[in-house]
C-alpha cells in the first residue's frame, strides 16, 4: 500500500510527523479525503477533527485555524493549534464550552457573538475528539 508522509506543524512546534495511508479532514466547504498521489492542493480547514488512517489504526487530531498543503507524497497541515486526544484538557474545554454558551444565550449587545461562536466550536471540537476516541 502506498503511503503519504503527514506532518502537522503549529507555532508552538511540530506536533506529529509520520506516514499514513489516508488523510481525512474537513475543509471550509466540505469533507476532503487525501490518498497518495493527490494533485498539489491548498485548502483551509474548518475547526474540526483530522483523521489519519493506516493499517495499524487511526489517529485523530483536533485542529483549529489551519490549512492543508498537499503534494503527491506529502501532506502538511499548518494550524494555530493541533492536539492529540490525550493532550486535550477536557475540564478546560468543558468550561470553555459553558462560558461560550452562556455568552451566546445572554443576548447582550456588547458581546462579540462571532468570537463566542468560534470559542464554542473550538471547545465542542476538542470535546468531540477527546471523547469519541
- 119: helix, strand or coil: helix
Residue 37 is a binding residue for other proteins (CB under 8 A): no
DSSP 86: G
Residue 27 is a binding residue for other proteins (CB under 8 A): yes
Cβ proximity of 127 and 93 under 8 Å: yes
What is the CB-side half-sphere exposure of residue 17 using CA atoms within 13 A? 5
Residue 90 is a binding residue for other proteins (CB under 8 A): no
Nearer to other proteins, 2 or 71 (CB): 71
CB of 46 to other proteins, least distance (A): 11
Q: Which of residues 91-130 bind other proteins (CB under 8 A)?
A: none
Q: Over the Cα atoms of the chain, what is R_g? A: 16
In this structure, the strands spanning 13-20 and 74-83 are unpaired
CB of 15 to other proteins, least distance (A): 10
CB of 57 to other proteins, least distance (A): 26
CB of 81 to other proteins, least distance (A): 7
In this structure, the strands spanning 30-34 and 4-10 are unpaired
Q: Which residues bind other proteins (CB under 8 A)?
A: 9-14, 27-29, 32, 39-44, 65, 67, 69, 71, 76, 78, 80-81
Amino acid at each position: 500500500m502506498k503511503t503519504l508522509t503527514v506532518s502537522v506543524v503549529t507555532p508552538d512546534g511540530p506536533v506529529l510527523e509520520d506516514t499514513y495511508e489516508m488523510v481525512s479532514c474537513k475543509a471550509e466547504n466540505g469533507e476532503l479525503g487525501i490518498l497518495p498521489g493527490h494533485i498539489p492542493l491548498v485548502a483551509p480547514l474548518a475547526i474540526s477533527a483530522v483523521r489519519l488512517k493506516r493499517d495499524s489504526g487511526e489517529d485523530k487530531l483536533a485542529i483549529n485555524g489551519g490549512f492543508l498543503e498537499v503534494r503527491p507524497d506529502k501532506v502538511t497541515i499548518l494550524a494555530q493549534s493541533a492536539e492529540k486526544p490525550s493532550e486535550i484538557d477536557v475540564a478546560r474545554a468543558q468550561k470553555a464550552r459553558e462560558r461560550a454558551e452562556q455568552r451566546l444565550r445572554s443576548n447582550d449587545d456588547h458581546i462579540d457573538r462571532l468570537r463566542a461562536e468560534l470559542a464554542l466550536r473550538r471547545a465542542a471540537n476538542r470535546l468531540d475528539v477527546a471523547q469519541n476516541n
